């Protein structure tokens, strides 16, 4: 059988051999086994993965019912997160020292498809899938990330959406929280013999926990958000009696988000007085985003010998973040770092009457698309005494980011903003960045005796372009004023090995090349590293434990200027950081005491710990990249704590249960440095406790009380991009869930 798919400029030919009739019928129960939206598989498969890989299962997600993916990922060692708005609307996630800003340094996928707005041209994840509708998550940190690409330095996160249920069912979860917060999650679906379906939505709304300065006697503006998320899945299967199983699967989704967020933080003095304050100049700052996704997949399977999948995908994202840019031409980061030297500007920010156009706000308006075709074929072979699973795949991809931005001028009038001017479209930024990529990989899993080997090789061929247009040419009728092009072709090898000592113990090791592609038009060298890991696993019926030591040895670390880093230079500029070494120890374990007491109680406990033993530059240089600055040999990387620890425990019976988790984040630098920690360049350590108590009224109906930041810990979450930002204060929810 031959299939031709054309998508924009992309064409994929997939040839699948026809098979003779097979008396073994394929039925719906086989769907889970061949629906390769998962990369690792179920958690029970992780013990035999020759590399560092973690699955956060549906059962684990239901324990704490988190809507913030960063709180979810605290349970994975080696993952670093930086809060920004308190709700996790735009997560900052890094893996093994890869860098956290906007999760741009890792590969983000939903159901196995790259989901960042423009994964190659502009990888910053200003769109992130809604955590509430995720069924499970996979985190790949070792050689297994080679199959995913293109960002293999840290690894990959694959978010797995709600699957179509096996039978007709519906689920409703309604929760009400402080700050007039409402969160509704519902889905319904059914699996038939030939046709299956699922519909799902998340509706989330909150007034927010911060307060904007306003005139006495007037109500301040909301600092909350509203999210509407819709998803539909349709599946058409071949006759259950057919010799070759075939399935056509459609997934379509749309997400709308309005969040009243700003980049304007607080000075250290103001934070100490009221961490949840927002200055008057941030009134009206708002993020508007609309995301649409479409995936069409064809799955085919014969018997146990081979299977294949081809997916055509398209993602569109449009956003406009209208927020404070500067005051009297001075950047807001400079003002908050030194409010004494910039006393006049600080006064305008906090409500003093100013001249016209003293305060500039920018429409950070951008449109993105990402589209392509990807496919993989897997063959299962027997060779002498070895069992071999061979997979070959390809991704033909293109994406684009279009910036057409303008500034608006304001006067501050007694704590009230008055608009005084409006720039034409494109007068602030007018450019287009694009990427066209051909990627291919081949990998295998070789099982022989007690050994499992997973060699793999990935090839990426990238064509990157940046077109700059005149800021006085909003229609772009005059053509680009400058075109910068760069190309990169790279081979990314990897090898994982696992040895089964006995039924419980595993020894593992892996090595692979870490790689991050350059930005369009970048003059920086590509980022490359050699990544090594080794460790051991233990598991039995009640106890599991894993210890892995990792070494990421950078030949060149690259820093990218974004609005959220606060870096100097033009947005998108890249800087070489040279040689860097990141090393650390990851520990995780869980144990369950079953049958405790007369009520047949179970007591689950778990621990996740990351000790970053080294994260430092190995060369000296001066950089215009603000988080680095003047670097000496041995300077530590910013926003990487030496210690992270999560402890969780619970007490549960058939009807009631309670779970408690403590998350500790150690002290970290906010700029490269070494020696003593200076207060204005440090985030101090903190511990945040979360708790959930639940009761099951009937088999279908349950209720719960959930409190994030139980002891109302006040802490600095970040010192970027401008001023100090608080973590979420204590927030309580009460919820009901019903399953039909």
Residues 118-137 have pLDDT tens digits of: 999 999 999 999 999 999 99
**Among 141-145, 489-493, 657-661, which is the least confidently predicted range?**
141-145
Determine the Cα–Cα distance for residues 69 and 82; give it in Å rounded to an integer. Answer: 11
Determine the Cα–Cα distance for residues 639 and 669; give it in Å rounded to an integer. Answer: 6
- Residue 397 pLDDT class (50, 70, 90 cuts): very high
Q: What is the pLDDT of residues 210-268, one digit of tens each?
A: 999 998 877 678 999 999 999 999 999 999 888 899 999 999 999 999 999 999 999 99
* pLDDT greater than 80 at residue 569: no
Determine the Cα–Cα distance for residues 40 and 288; give it in Å rounded to an integer. Answer: 34
Maximum average pLDDT range among 91-100, 360-369, 557-566: 360-369
Retrieve residue 417's tokens. Answer: 């903003």
Retrieve residue 169's tokens. Answer: 């069912």
Q: Going by C-beta distance under 8 Å and a sequence separation of 6 or more, which residues neighbour residue 282?
A: 212, 262, 264, 323, 324
Q: Going by C-beta distance under 8 Å and a sequence separation of 6 or more, which residues neighbour residue 6?
A: none
Please state the rounded mean pLDDT for residues 641-650: 98
pLDDT score, position 33: 37
3-state secondary structure of 271: helix
What H or E segment, with its residue span, contains residue 206?
Answer: strand 195-206
- Identify the structural domains of the chain with CATH numbers, from first to last: 2-554 (2.40.170.20)
Determine the Cα–Cα distance for residues 66 and 731; give it in Å rounded to an integer. Answer: 12
Q: Going by C-beta distance under 8 Å and a sequence separation of 6 or more, which residues neighbour residue 243?
A: 19, 20, 21, 22, 23, 302
pLDDT score, position 431: 97
Q: Going by C-beta distance under 8 Å and a sequence separation of 6 or more, which residues neighbour residue 56?
A: 72, 73, 75, 76, 136, 137, 138, 139
Q: Name which residue leads in pLDDT, 173 or 11.
A: 173
If we measure between CA atoms, which residue out of 454, 460, 478 comes closest to residue 397? Answer: 460
Strand-pair category, 725-726 with 716-718: antiparallel
* pLDDT greater than 90 at residue 422: yes
pLDDT score, position 8: 35
CA dihedral of 68, 73, 74, 78, whole degrees rounded to 10: -150
Q: Going by C-beta distance under 8 Å and a sequence separation of 6 or more, which residues neighbour residue 161?
A: 37, 110, 111, 129, 133, 134, 135, 231, 233, 251
- Residue 1 pLDDT class (50, 70, 90 cuts): very low
- Residue 61 pLDDT class (50, 70, 90 cuts): very high
If we measure between CA atoms, which residue out of 290, 372, 489 comes closest to residue 114? Answer: 372
* pLDDT greater than 50 at residue 613: yes
Determine the Cα–Cα distance for residues 288 and 41; give it in Å rounded to an integer. Answer: 35
Q: What's the mean per-residue pLDDT of the chain?
A: 91
Contact between 325 and 388 (Cβ < 8 Å): no
Q: CA-based Rg of the chain, rounded to a whole angstrom? A: 26
* pLDDT greater than 60 at residue 621: yes
Alpha-carbon distances of 185 from 13, 132, 169, 189, 553, rounded to whole Å: 39, 7, 14, 14, 43
Q: Where would I find the beta strands (DSSP E) of 561-642? A: 574-596, 601-617, 621-622, 630-631
pLDDT score, position 570: 74
Percent of the chain with pLDDT over 70: 93
- Residue 287 pLDDT class (50, 70, 90 cuts): very high
If we measure between CA atoms, which residue out of 685, 65, 681 comes closest to residue 337? Answer: 681
Angle, CA of 583, 71 and 643, to the nearest 5°: 30
């Amino acid at each position: 059988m031959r299939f031709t798919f054309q998508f924009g400029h992309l064409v994929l030919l997939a040839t699948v051999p026809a098979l003779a009739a097979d008396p073994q019928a394929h039925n719906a129960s086989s769907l889970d086994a061949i629906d390769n939206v998962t990369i690792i598989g179920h958690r029970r498969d992780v013990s035999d993965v020759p590399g560092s890989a973690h699955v956060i299962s549906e059962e684990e997600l239901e324990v704490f019912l988190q809507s913030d993916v960063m709180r979810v990922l605290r349970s994975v060692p080696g993952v670093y997160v930086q809060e920004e708005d308190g709700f996790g609307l735009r997560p900052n996630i890094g893996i093994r020292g890869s860098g956290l800003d906007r999760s741009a340094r890792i590969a983000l996928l939903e159901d196995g498809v790259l989901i960042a707005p423009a994964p190659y041209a502009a990888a910053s994840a200003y769109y992130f899938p809604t955590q509430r509708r995720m069924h499970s998550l996979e985190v790949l940190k070792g050689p297994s990330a080679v199959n995913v690409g293109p960002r293999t330095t840290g690894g990959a996160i694959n978010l797995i959406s709600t699957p179509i249920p096996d039978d007709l069912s519906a689920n409703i979860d309604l929760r009400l929280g402080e700050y007039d917060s409402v969160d509704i999650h519902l889905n319904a679906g059914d699996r038939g013999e030939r046709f299956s379906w699922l519909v799902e939505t998340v509706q989330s709304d909150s007034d927010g926990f911060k307060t904007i300065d306003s005139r006495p006697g007037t109500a301040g503006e909301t600092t909350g958000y509203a999210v509407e998320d819709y998803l539909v899945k349709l599946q058409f299967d071949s006759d259950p009696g057919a010799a070759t199983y075939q399935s056509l699967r459609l997934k379509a989704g749309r997400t709308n988000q309005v969040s009243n967020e700003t980049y304007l933080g607080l000075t250290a003095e103001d934070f100490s007085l009221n961490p949840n304050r927002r200055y008057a100049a941030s009134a009206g700052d708002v993020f508007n985003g609309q995301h649409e996704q479409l995936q069409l997949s064809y799955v085919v399977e014969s018997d146990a010998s081979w299977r294949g999948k081809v997916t055509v995908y398209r993602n569109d994202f449009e956003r406009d973040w209208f927020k404070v840019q500067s005051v009297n031409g001075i950047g807001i980061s400079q003002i908050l770092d030194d409010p004494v030297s910039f006393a006049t500007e600080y006064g305008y920010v906090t409500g003093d009457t100013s001249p016209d156009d003293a305060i500039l706000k920018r429409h950070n308006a951008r449109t993105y698309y990402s589209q392509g075709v990807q496919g993989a074929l897997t063959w299962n072979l027997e060779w002498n005494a070895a069992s071999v699973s061979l997979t070959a795949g390809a991704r033909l991809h293109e994406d684009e980011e279009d910036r057409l931005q303008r500034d608006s001028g304001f006067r501050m009038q007694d704590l009230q903003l008055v608009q005084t001017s409006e720039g034409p479209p494109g007068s602030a930024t007018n450019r287009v960045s694009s990427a066209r990529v051909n990627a291919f990989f081949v990998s295998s899993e070789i099982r022989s005796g007690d050994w499992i080997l997973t060699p793999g090789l990935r090839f990426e061929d990238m064509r990157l372009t940046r077109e700059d247009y005149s800021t006085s040419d909003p229609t772009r009728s005059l053509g680009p004023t400058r075109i910068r092009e760069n190309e990169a072709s790279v081979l990314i090898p990897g090898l994982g090995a696992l040895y089964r000592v006995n039924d419980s113990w595993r020894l593992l090791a892996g090595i692979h090349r870490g790689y991050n592609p350059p930005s369009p038009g970048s003059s920086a060298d590509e980022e490359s590293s050699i990544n090594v890991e080794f460790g051991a696993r233990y598991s039995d019926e009640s106890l599991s434990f894993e210890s892995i030591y990792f070494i990421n040895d950078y030949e060149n670390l690259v820093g990218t200027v974004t609005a959220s880093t606060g870096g100097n230079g033009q947005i998108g500029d890249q800087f070489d950081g040279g040689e860097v070494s990141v090393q650390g120890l990851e520990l995780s374990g869980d144990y369950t005491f079953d049958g405790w007491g007369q009520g047949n109680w179970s007591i689950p406990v778990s621990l996740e710990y990351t000790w970053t033993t080294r994260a430092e530059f190995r060369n000296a240089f001066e950089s215009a990249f603000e988080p680095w600055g003047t670097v000496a040999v041995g300077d530590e990387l910013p926003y990487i704590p030496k210690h992270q620890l999560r402890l969780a425990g619970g007490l549960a019976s058939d009807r009631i249960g309670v779970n408690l988790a403590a998350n500790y984040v150690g002290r970290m630098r906010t700029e490269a440095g070494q020696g003593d920690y200076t207060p204005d360049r440090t985030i101090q350590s903190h511990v945040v406790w979360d708790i959930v108590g639940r009761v099951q009224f009937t088999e279908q109906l349950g209720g719960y009380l959930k409190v994030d930041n139980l002891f109302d810990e006040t802490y600095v979450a970040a010192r970027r991009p401008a001023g100090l930002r608080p973590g979420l204060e204590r927030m309580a929810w009460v919820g009901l869930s019903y399953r039909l």
